[in-house]
A = this chain, B = another copy of it.
Amino acid sequence: MMRINGQPADSIDARDRGLAYGDGVFRTLRMANGRPLWWRDHVARLEADCAALALACPDAGLLLEEACAVADGADCVAKLILTRGSGVRGYAPGDTGAVTRIVMAVPLPPHAWADAPRAVRARLCTLRLGHQPRLAGVKHLNRLENVLARAEWTDPAIFEGLLCDEAGMLVGGTMSNLFWVREGVLCTPELDRCGVAGVTRARALRAASRLGLRTRFERQPPAAILAADEVMICNSLIGMRRVAMLDAAELGEAGWRERLDKALYEDLD
Contact = CB atoms under 8 A, between A and B. Distances in A.
A93 B53 contact: no
A223 interface: no
A29 interface: no
Protomer copies: 2
A130 B132 contact: yes
A21 B79 CA distance: 13
Contacts of A150: 90-93
Contact of A14 (B11, B53, B129): B11
A141 to B, nearest CB: 6
Given A130-B131, A134-B127, A147 B93 contact: yes
Nearest to A174: B91
A144 B23 contact: yes
B147 A91 contact: yes
Interface stretch (A2-10, A31-39, A202-210, A257-265): A2-10
A129 B130 CA distance: 9
Interface in A91-145: 91-93, 102, 104, 106, 109, 127, 129-132, 134-135, 140-145
